[in-house]
């Protein structure tokens, strides 16, 4: 309806109800968007409170398969495959037999930016092809940009089987 004096339209109850509904709807959608933006941050902050999932021991071979002083790449089922990786997702580690009873294992990922390192037998060094990171056979940094030694993985021998404890893939870099 129009008023005679100002030409303004008077608000009826139908317009008020519609405006109120749209206001409430926009508040709900804005709240949902805000919540979606905050949840990942909360998950990151609260994750340490709930602890890490327990590791799983994976058999990588018999003790007699590995020569003393040798460093070999061993493959095993990934502890945290992504949904698109499939059920047969595999990962690996570098396993070094130090002596008759001692083994050490390293993550295959460089601590600089996470590229896979390779063992160069002739030089007795681990080398990262991405940015020239170099590690000694004990995993310590020999040169290049890596800020830390290769991540060591727990190893045990049970019933003549060498086992490596795996857990969800750790964040191996210090840079974002």
Q: For 120-142, write each residue's pLDDT tens digit.
A: 888 888 888 888 889 988 888 88
Check whether residue 61 and residue 42 sit in a common domain: no
Check whether residue 28 and residue 109 sit in a common domain: no
* pLDDT tier for residue 13 given thresholds of 50, 70 and 90: low
Strand partners, 157: 162
Check whether residue 61 and residue 6 sit in a common domain: no
CB of 154 within 8 A of CB of 103?
no
Check whether residue 69 and residue 148 sit in a common domain: yes
Assess if residue 171 is contained within a domain: no
Check whether residue 30 and residue 89 sit in a common domain: no
**DSSP of 63-91, one letter per residue?**
GGGS-TT-EEEEEEE-SS--GGG-TT-EE
What is the reported pLDDT for 176?
39
Is the pLDDT confidence value at 80 over 90? no
Number of domains in the chain: 2
Check whether residue 6 and residue 68 sit in a common domain: no
Check whether residue 32 and residue 75 sit in a common domain: no
Check whether residue 60 and residue 47 sit in a common domain: no
Domain extent for 5: 1-51
What is the reported pLDDT for 27?
95
Burial class (CB in 10 A: 0-12, 13-18, 19+), 4: exposed
Is the pLDDT confidence value at 84 over 70? no
């Amino acid at each position: 309806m129009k008023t005679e004096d100002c030409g303004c339209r008077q608000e009826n109850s139908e317009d008020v109800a519609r405006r109120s509904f749209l206001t409430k709807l926009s508040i709900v959608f804005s709240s949902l968007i805000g919540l979606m933006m905050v949840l990942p941050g909360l998950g990151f902050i609260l994750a340490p409170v709930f602890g890490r999932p327990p590791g799983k021991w994976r058999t990588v071979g018999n003790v007699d398969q590995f020569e003393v002083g040798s460093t070999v790449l061993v493959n095993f089922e990934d502890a945290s495959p992504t949904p698109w990786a499939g059920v047969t997702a595999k990962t690996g580690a570098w396993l070094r037999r130090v002596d008759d009873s001692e083994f050490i294992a390293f993550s295959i990922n460089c601590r600089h930016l996470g590229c896979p390192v390779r063992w160069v037998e002739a030089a007795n060094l681990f080398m990262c092809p991405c940015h020239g990171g170099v590690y000694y056979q004990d995993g310590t940094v020999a040169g290049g940009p890596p800020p830390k030694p290769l991540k060591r993985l727990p190893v045990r021998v049970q019933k003549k089987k060498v086992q490596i404890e795996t857990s969800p893939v750790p964040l191996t870099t210090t840079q974002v």
